[in-house]
A and B are shown apart, each in its own frame.
Chain A
Amino acid sequence: MIHVRNLHKYFGSLHVLKGIDVDIKPQEVVVVIGPSGSGKSTFLRCLNLLEEPSDGTIRINDKEITSNKINIDRVRTEIGMVFQMFNLFPHLNVMQNITLAPKQVKGMKDSEAEYLAYSLLNKVGLSDKAMAYPSQLSGGQQQRVAIARALAMQPKIMLFDEPTSALDPEMIKEVLDVMKDLALEGMTMVVVTHEMGFAKSVADRVLFMDEGLIVEEATPDQFFSSPREERAKEFLSRILV
């Protein structure tokens, strides 16, 4: 479903991604972990071209999105993204946040888009918040709306960029639960996170990144019980106190 070959990214002279190769299958849940500055967010943001790769190819659903002939707006409708800072639209209420893109991009009718939005809000447990504005919601609620907003485009892949890092501890679970349900439904997911519990219980595969490379790739069981690489061992010893 996703095929990345020799992906490089430079910011000026800073070499952030140094040749990433990875394949992700349909319905797979891949968790990307690694120390800060290892390039994991940049890697994720390359997958929907929020960052333009400096070199290499990315194929998604048999389309080479790194080719300059591709219509990236079309590709992005099939890839949902959830951000660390939620990035809800503050001037729109929850319903408008969710229905704007389906209406503008897909030409969905008002009634159809609202019906879809209600079913998604129901799914994330916020059906009573349709008319609320983002500032009236807690962080956890905002992130669940952001997930519903991304799902409203009916994407085939969901990208999560540290979705719980900006949340108070007591709100992390409600967001992870929504993500877990999504994984169980068979959504293809790539998740950058520091939530090792989530990685252990939900991921099919863990990618460990360090200094712009995927250093180790394993099932969660293997990775957390017996990591092969020295850098992975060191990282785990620091976070699993």
Chain B
Amino acid sequence: MYDWQWELIVRWLPILFEGMLKTLELTVVSIFLGSIIALFLALARISKVKIFNTLAIAYIEFFRGTPLLVQILLLAYALPMFFDYTPNLYIAGVAALSLNAAAYIAEIFRGGIQSIDRGQMEASRSLGMTYRQSMRFIIWPQAFRRIIPPLGNQFVAMLKDSSLVFAIGIEELMTKGRLLQGSTYRSPEVWFTVALIYLVLTLTFSYLVNRLERRLSISDSRS
């Protein structure tokens, strides 16, 4: 029978906690940056200008059609060799996560915007408001409520997917686990604990997303 040692876990907690904070940081930053990029992608995707449309589709297909791990290695190792510069691995990791998230979030935004009835834009334009004013005051506020739940799910998915940056040594939760495992060979304690921390993170944020979703649906039924 395996000699499970609780006191090891207690001793590791500060290290794992540090990794957890890094995981949260990576997730928040890449969802935030990804959302900004996604906004432009989504607008390009619904644009009538053919070239914008094609570029947005190509971007989205590439980042959704290749493994995130490959994208991370491309940005961290392949591009620096190709263009001959010294990479900052942290920035490369954040960039890969953000660019990847943007592809998924762009489709969430597009779905939200296109789910708004065509009559809303027509009514707004018929009052003399410009396309931009209509998007800002009429379409976007309505789309936003529908976007929040899937965006929350994307956030939860990113909590887990960010673990892939272990491949370039960014010291988030996954990497901390590997370091501890490498120095102690206590795989059971390490990986059960790491799994539990991820689970606590995802369950917490899923719960928060659900609550937000309920609150939005209440204010939605009012309007």
Chain A residues close to B by CB (< 8 Å): 48, 50, 73-74, 76-77, 79-81, 83, 85, 87-92, 100-101, 104-105, 133-136, 146, 149-150, 153
Contacts and interface: CB of A to CB of B under 8 A. Distances in A.
Contact of B141 (A73, A80, A91): A91
B128 A91 contact: no
Interface in B170-223: 221-223
B138 to A, nearest CB: 6
A89 B124 CA distance: 9
B122 A101 contact: no
B130 A89 contact: no
Contact of A104 (B117, B119, B122, B129): B129
Given A104-B133, A133-B223, A76 B125 contact: yes
B126 interface: yes
A136 B124 CA distance: 21
Contact of B128 (A73, A89, A92, A133): A73
15 contacts: A50-B125, A74-B128, A81-B123, A83-B119, A83-B122, A87-B123, A89-B123, A89-B138, A90-B142, A100-B129, A105-B127, A105-B128, A105-B129, A135-B222, A150-B126
Interface of B: 117, 119-120, 122-130, 133, 137-138, 141-142, 145, 221-223
Contacts of B128: 73-74, 76-77, 101, 105, 153
A135 B122 contact: no
B126 A48 contact: yes
A216 B128 CA distance: 33
A76 B223 contact: no
Nearest to A159: B126
User: How would you classify the secondary structure of chain A's contact residues: helix, strand, loop or mixed?
Assistant: mixed
Contacts, number: 70
A101 B129 contact: yes
B217 to A, nearest CB: 13
Contacts of B133: 104-105
Q: Which of A88, A91, A92, A146 has the most CB of B within 10 A?
A: A91
Contacts of A134: 223
Contacts of B137: 100, 104
Given A89-B138, A100-B137, A104-B133, A81 B126 contact: yes
Nearest to B142: A91
Contact of A149 (B119, B127, B130): B127
A4 B58 CA distance: 44
Nearest to A90: B223
Contacts of B122: 50, 83, 87
A88 B142 CA distance: 12
B23 to A, nearest CB: 35
A141 to B, nearest CB: 15
3 A-B pairs with the lowest CB-CB distances in the bound complex, closest first:
A77-B128, A87-B123, A101-B127
Contacts of B221: 135
